[in-house]
Amino acid sequence: MEQYRREPIARCRLPLLSLGGILLFVLGGLSSDMPAGGTESPETDPPETPAWARENLPSWVAPFVGKQGLPDPWPQKKGPLGSATSGIDRWQANHFIVYRPETAAYLYQQYTPTKVAYRRGSLPAYEKVVEKYARGAATERQKAMALLKSLADVCRHPTIPPLGPRVRADRGLLDEDLLKSGGGFCNEQARVFVRLCQVAGIPARMVFLFYADNRTGHVVAEFFADGRWSMADTSWLCVFPAEDGHLLSAAEIHADEAGRQRAIAAYRARWREMLAMSDEYLGGPGARTTLEKKLAAPDVPGCFGVLNYPLP
């Protein structure tokens, strides 16, 4: 798969990145282990992960967390998911709950609280972004859309226009430092968006996508508005409208071929929109060739997992 920029980054070991932040996680390590016996290793449970990031899940959920909950061939893959990351990012990469028949109702009816208990003043930098970009938005959906678009200014991807700073995948930054850095990979952008939504009083969570090629994936988000969950791509800065105008959830996108085609249509619309932008915005003329290739051969949704991002 193509990248916008292929030149090496001095003194930084980055994983193989495909356009769109397509799993910043190293392709040879796309897995997430919860070893037999109910214990975990530092590979999947880094000791520096903050306690507030961890969740207490019902015991019946354990078989569906990370790699072991994914369909074949994922359970046979070696090493942890997110092997190029560290700290909280590595932990999150290995603790999503896979969406499947056994977990569907739990994930969409119980798992994520639909009320946000944010303490004013605990994330001041995020509060400033919310005030700047969501001011005047009348509905939660409008607020979430405004915050999604804000990522083009406050947290840019290093390979997706508008291009952000070159950053390491293994920073393991926490919230305020991550926002201050001005950029991040797909999982970091999803984290920033979720936090912005939470500060604005909108429930949100991370979504780990795995594509039908059984090799690649991406990290996005869902936000709760209009009484439903809606998926938002926090790297491409787009959402996925249904025919009746509501925004599709990750579950609806993965439910059938119609959902998958709806998602692909939304991505293609976004890429066409980007092709009309200047070379300066795109980061050079080579980006047009890459976008045209994406239009011709888009990634096909396969399966996904969901992860809460608890407030500190």
In order, the DSSP letters of 238-298 are: EE-B-TTSPBPPHHHHHHSHHHHHHHHHHHHHHHHHHHTS-HHHHTSTHHHHHHHHHHHSP
Question: Does pLDDT of 25 surpass 90?
Answer: no
- Asked if residue 145 is part of any domain, the answer here is yes
And the tokens for 196?
């912005």
Q: What is the pLDDT of residues 156-199, one digit of tens each?
A: 999 999 999 999 999 999 999 999 999 999 999 999 999 999 99
Which range of residues forms the domain containing residue 68? Answer: 27-307
- Provide the domain count of the chain: 1
The pLDDT-based confidence of 29 (bands split at 50, 70, 90) is: very low
Count Cβ atoms within 10 A of the Cβ of residue 252 and give its class: 0-12 exposed, 13-18 middle, 19 or more buried: buried
- Asked if residue 78 is part of any domain, the answer here is yes
Q: What is the number of other CB atoms lying within 10 angstroms of the CB of residue 111?
A: 18
C-alpha to C-alpha distance for 168 and 268, rounded to whole angstroms:
29
And the tokens for 223?
């936000």
Range 198-212 average pLDDT: 99
By the 8 A CB rule, do 263 and 301 touch?
Answer: yes
130 SS3 class: helix
C-alpha to C-alpha distance for 290 and 276, rounded to whole angstroms:
14
- Asked if residue 283 is part of any domain, the answer here is yes
- Asked if residue 101 is part of any domain, the answer here is yes
Q: What is the largest CA-CA distance in the chain?
A: 55
